[in-house]
Chain A
Amino acid sequence: MTSVFGPKELVFLLSGLKWTILLSAIAFTGGGIAGLLVAVGRTAERAWLRRAMILYIGVFQGTPLLMQLFVVYYGLGLLGIQVPAWAAVTIAFTLNASAFLGDIWRGAIQALPRGQTEAAIALGLPLSSRLRDIILPQALRIAQPATVGYAVQLIKGTSLAAIVGFIELARAGQIVSSQTFAPILVFAVVGAIYFALCWPLSLYSARLEAKFAAAR
């Protein structure tokens, strides 16, 4: 059954957008929190912790996100552990995003002059304060363009959640496209919606960068 691309189809796409935004928020929040731990572990003094994080980053950066989603959702199911789609998506995106964000932030932490940590240690600041007051505020500032760049990738990457049944924006576009036989129009609209979502982030990032540069 075919139809034309009208208000009903647009609403369907927007309901897909809702999932895209929600999935992005979950992935970025989970990935952000876990990514901080990965970054801190990757730069820790303990060699075994650093090595474990190198392995973790290697595995989750080096395998496709699609496969990771597949393994968490269907793989755990095969082992008899029933994972709801929501949980599977949350776990897979958190694992994947934390590897990328952790590595970005690791680079920023290592870019800080060694003297920053030494001065903080010499003042007697405990590790928690060194991280919270000295290292992370400076590192996250350095990493801000790369972090926003990754967030934009992540928004587009949420389309892979379709594999476990989410009808997010890209999947919704596919469905509408096959109903209307107007793929060029539909995917132009889908693309415009993605763009409208990502472009403000990039703009915001550029503004922040200018602000930090001025504060130096």
Chain B
Amino acid sequence: MTPPSSHPAHTEQPLILMEAVEKWYGSFQALKSVNLSVSKGEKIVLCGPSGSGKSTLIRCINHLEVYQKGRIVVDGISVADNPKAIDIVRQEVGMVFQGFNLFPHMTVLQNCMLAPIRVRGTGKAEAEATARQYLDRVHIGNQADKFPAQLSGGQQQRVAIARALCMQPKVMLFDEPTSALDPEMVKEVLDTMIGLAQDGMTMICVTHEMGFARQVADRVIFMAEGEILEEAAPDTFFRSPSHPRAKQFLGEILAHH
């Protein structure tokens, strides 16, 4: 990946900072005073029961969701101070969705080239070279001219990862990236994510893949009912969760493993 940033001013400041973020859907409070700080290169796994606000939390980071209170700073940029900064934040934050969301009318290669060309103003040749490089990295370079519907779910999700990487983001958000996959395809996507983690990418992953969490996460964050209830290193979290809700949750999901 890119070499470490040479801006000393940025090294102490967290890459992502969430301060007292609150979000409501009407009268339902989806996020309750969420505080989170993520340093450069850190890998976070977010878990918790369905409806706990995990996806909402990461979707607030790139403003796919609006929040009503609090502050989110990404790479020193706060959107609250400058609404135009939303565009800059989105360029720095890559996102991978549960349902892949590839553009079905474009080839794999076109999917990967569009944003660099339209958003960064990259030339066509350079965008194509970058796209091919990342497609090779997710081991799908030989499918570049196919349409998404011609690929398996696992392949589509790897294309989606490559598409996000083509913008050379500073952080990657994963919103249940393996939940829509057939079991035999989960591994290829997780392996891609592990490779990305090993290259030093800053990652926030909403996932229930606890093996992945153990192997990759610096911190596991447990949420329930819109609140962060526990934050711990994966070993500690899996061995001795302190919050009763976390114990209950782990009991439920690990029972099947």
Contacts and interface: CB of A to CB of B under 8 A. Distances in A.
B157 interface: no
Nearest to A115: B101
Q: 9 tightest CB-CB pairs across the interface, nearest first?
A: A119-B101, A115-B101, A124-B90, A123-B115, A122-B95, A129-B118, A124-B91, A124-B119, A115-B99
Interface of A: 113, 115-116, 118-126, 129, 133-134, 137-138, 141, 215-216
Contacts of B95: 119, 122
Interface in B96-111: 97, 99-105
A180 B167 CA distance: 72
A122 B119 contact: no
A137 B104 CA distance: 10
A115 B64 contact: no
A119 B160 CA distance: 9
Given A118-B97, A137-B105, A125 B64 contact: no
Given A115-B97, A121-B90, A126 B105 contact: no
Contacts of B94: 122
A125 B101 contact: no
B101 A118 contact: yes
Contact of B62 (A120, A122, A215, A216): A122
A13 to B, nearest CB: 43
Contacts of B149: 216
19 contacts: A115-B100, A116-B101, A116-B103, A118-B97, A121-B90, A122-B94, A122-B95, A123-B114, A123-B115, A124-B91, A124-B119, A124-B167, A126-B119, A134-B103, A138-B103, A138-B105, A215-B147, A216-B104, A216-B147
Chain A binding surface, main DSSP class: helix
B167 A123 contact: yes
B164 interface: yes
Contacts of A126: 87, 118-119
A121 B64 contact: yes
A197 to B, nearest CB: 31
B43 interface: no
B118 A125 contact: yes
A122 B65 CA distance: 11
A137 B102 CA distance: 14
Nearest to A120: B103
Given A115-B97, A115-B101, A215-B147, A122 B118 contact: no
A133 B102 CA distance: 13
Contacts of B99: 113, 115
Interface string B71-105: 00000000000000001001101110101111111
A140 to B, nearest CB: 10
Contacts of A137: 105
A125 B119 CA distance: 6
Contacts of A113: 99, 101
